[in-house]
Amino acid sequence: MNFQSAEYFNNVDEEEKKITDERLIRMNISKFRTQIQQLCQEMEKYGNVDQLYEDVENKKKKLIAKKELLQNHLNKNYNQLNVVQQNISNVEEKLNQNDKYKQVRLKISNLIITNETKITIL
């Protein structure tokens, strides 16, 4: 009976070991499934990276085009400002010439009056 008891206990030990091994395998499978799901979720996030990269490149191109357009407008405005400044300078010069003309005319008038006065006195 000892032999049978020992064999029985050996069989029980083996069965328990099998059950324990099966549990460990199931736990590992469950962990692996969870890890695979997490990896799939991560891959989905990064799967959109190509689309995001393309969107960023398109936005970059649009911003560069907008920058160039704004630079062109700025250059146009500077050119217009230079024209306006030149026009102001021309007007100021004409005004100065006009003032000089008025001064010369006034001097001539004064000379004429002075000469007339001298002639009258004589």
Backbone angles phi, psi at 48, to 5 degrees: -85, -5
Write down the pLDDT at residue 20. Answer: 84
Domain definitions of the chain by residue range: 1-47, 59-122
Q: Is 48 helix (H, G, I), strand (E, B) or coil?
A: coil
pLDDT for residue 6: 66
pLDDT value at position 48? 76
Which H or E run includes 40? helix 2-47
Q: What is the mean pLDDT of each run of 10 residues along the chain (122 residues)?
A: 64 79 88 91 78 90 96 95 91 84 81 69 58
Supply the pTM of this predicted model.
0.45
